[in-house]
Amino acid sequence: MLQIVEGRKPVIAKVHGAAFAAGCQLVASCDLAYSTKDALFATPGVNIGLFCSTPMVAVSRKINRKPMMKMLLTGEPIKANYAKEIGLINDCFSKQKLNREVLSIAKKIASKSNLSIKIGKQTFYKQLEMPLRKAYAHTSKMMTVNMMAMDAKEGISAFLEKRKPVWKNK
């Protein structure tokens, strides 16, 4: 799970069916998550006398405390539309549309600067764990690092010249 969060590339979860316990943890660990409309999500360990402590780490960092505690304490599954509402997933689609929609977002991300995505992802997760003042200091530093990269120069030039950027760092 840590490799997903600490990795250089965005990771997208695509859920068909049920994501329970470690599956729910995996979904929460991914940068983006999509599912079918009939998908279910749960932390059901309590039903067998085993509290879902490890899945709780990832899921509780994606959703608010009250829905998280309800999931943990009842073990009841939640539906995809509610998972979207509470922020566990980005969106849900019909079975026929899911692959197309996930591929579309993946292609959109892949068209961006690889270096910018890497810096942004790492900065996003690191600043979340910092107090506000430290987070601003860290993100300002990382913005400067990013601005010095060739891809930032290319992106700004492409914007000003009204053309598509040609990224150097693939």
Whether the pTM exceeds 0.85: the reply is yes
What is the tally of structural domains in the chain? 2
Quick count: other Cβ atoms within 10 Å of Cβ 4?
16
Does 7 share its domain with 63?
yes
Q: Per residue in 42-99, pLDDT tens? A: 999 999 999 999 999 999 999 999 999 999 999 999 999 999 999 999 999 999 999 9
Per-residue pLDDT for 169 more than 80? no
Q: Domain for residue 56, yes or no?
A: yes
At 64, which CATH number? 3.90.226.10
Q: Domain for residue 136, yes or no?
A: yes
Q: How far apart are CA 80 and CA 62, in angstroms?
A: 15
SS3 content of the chain, % helix, strand, coil (to 5): 60, 10, 30
Query: What are the angstrom distances between the C-alpha of 62 and each of 71, 149, 157?
Result: 13, 31, 36
Q: How far apart are CA 157 and CA 164, in angstroms?
A: 10
What is the span of the domain harbouring residue 14? 2-109
Q: Per residue in 83-117, pLDDT tens? A: 999 999 999 999 999 999 999 999 999 999 999 99
Q: Domain for residue 169, yes or no?
A: no
